[in-house]
Structure 1
């Protein structure tokens, strides 16, 4: 879709100078783990939103970048360019795809290229509407199906009490758990994403956490109660929970 407007070069700076710091302030700066990296995150995001190499991820996506006419050009299909140059409009929480990497790199250059590569491989699927099996909608459906098949009693209890767990865990999934897990546990999860080349581990972990809190969830009778039970997952250990979830799944496959 093309916007019927003229894009000035200064607009790119305006978008990044206004929206990026605001998102950093609302997310990373309010996080005990990442607030010290505010300046480096601003540098990384400023580069990202100006980087036309990011447009390459649209070759594997059903989405398309927003387009506009560059200053001085006559409006026409041939004059359209992506705006912002990366083709990604800043949104709330975007900073959290980059923030954890600040714990790994002192130099913003490798931090930036690692962030860009992970975004173009994986994270872009988490905030677009797509039928892809690793898109946000498909991952949400996978969680729902896993909940019904693996935690049937809990699912029935939630239905009876009009409790919806998906809105709670969807926030974890769409951010790849960034901001919800402590950095060392988050890196364990992201290592699994890299090893499997798949985001499908995200709903698996979400189900494992829900299963881990099953007894508490069975005692609640309201949506607010469920949200309170799942409000803090910073004490979660990722690998043991994933092992338990996968072992339970293999056990169900062997049952006659």
Structure 2
């Protein structure tokens, strides 16, 4: 924040988001329960409750939640949701046009193959999928009929055609203007700024996990990272991880940096998403299955995570059909396509975040070695 005028709205926005979280209800419950403790005095009620929350670790959880909110892009509370996702208008128009092409291709595939976009699975299929949920990689369905929704060349042509209408390229026409196929003016850091932002990656600085043989203070670094995990401080975890993570602490440090916890409500939410996948059969699931089968299963590094990729990709994907399909469909999707199935959790959809999601949602934490 550059000046003090943005301070109050930003704080109010963070407070508003935290008030609707599960952490807020937990803090209220803990504060009410501690009123019956003998060390809580009426004359110093506020200070005693704060001291109890601090001693019991709830203050640290609140600090981690606030730190996580501060890492998110700050915007005005009245900003529309589509502007939060993409602030540039010409980018939103290009995205909408590309989405229409993808949806048209998806609808055409559904018509050609005679496969519905969504249907309720029969009881037998639900039982079979539930039994092999942890070993979906062993299943070999015939996916030869399902073609890609778009060709990489088509997507490249869309990227090449992107132009900012507010940018006059004739003003700074140089030799560099013809470098690259994608001519989109974006504000990026120059080399000095990158060196300053990523100073920890300087060749003169050692990195844990890479330069362990040359790191004299390896034992000290290990103890320091272990103390960060014990303190459960997200800001400290992110700061110390810039110099690398010890192999045995990577899972804990990454989960702490993302403030990703394994609470009972998280497990319950995952079970709800899993139940939605088991109950409803989507055309998109076949495309995801084929994509993972052709990529991860043939990769030397990711093939061991094939089953986890299926599970997390099926349960955390966003809806690919816009609301218009709810009106034009003869069978309303609201009855067979529950919104709960597509509510994204906090761990994202990239492979790295899928692995972290596997780790934090797995009770036995067998995935810890991959970090």
Q: Same fold (TM over 0.5)?
A: no
Q: Looking at CA atoms only, which structure, 1 or 2, has the larger radius of gyration?
A: 2
TM-score by length of 2: 0.20
TM-score by length of 1: 0.26
